[in-house]
Amino acid sequence: AGFKVFFLDPGIAYPVLAGYPWDSQDKEYVLVNNKCQCVTVTSKFVPSKENPNEEILERNIRILVPLKARENISDPMSPLRTTFVYRMTELCRKCDPVEIELGGEIYQAQQSTSCNEPETCYTYNRDKCYTTTFPFLHHGQVKDVKAVLTPASCYAE
């Protein structure tokens, strides 16, 4: 039984809502689109249950848990992952540098701190190529050979 917070200040709505007023579609915005842990968070304003005249901010968190994933997705021999941890602070981090203009010059700025910590991924990012090595017995010799885990993503241009 949590409490609901009312965002009555129209000033908050202004920077977030960038659609056209005459387009009456329900405007839902993406806050998090994390391909590493497969989480998306979107938010929109909905009429409050207690008072239909007021709007409250509703956040939809969508998590897809890959139950057959390995502890280390780059190593198919590692054991199955049984613990999945999702932290909102980590997911809401914006580590991609953003271009901003100050005094006529363009700078790249990072919007969050602690971006240097490595992220453990639970699932594959479709745009990246994942490979592994395995011991290959050939003519009595065992060599470490590279194999591809996600073929479609591993083509050269």
Instruction: Name which of residues 67 to 86 contact other proteins (CB under 8 A).
Output: 67-70, 73, 76-77
Q: Which residues inside 25-44 make contact with other proteins, applying CB under 8 A?
A: 25, 27-31, 33, 35, 38-40, 42
Residue 21: CB minimum distance to other proteins, A: 8
In the list 22, 49, 83, 139, the residue contacting other proteins (rule: CB under 8 A) is 22
Mask of contacts with other proteins, 115-144, x by CB under 8 A? --------xxxxx----x-x-x--------
Contact 68, 79 (CB under 8 A): no
Residue 118: CB minimum distance to other proteins, A: 18
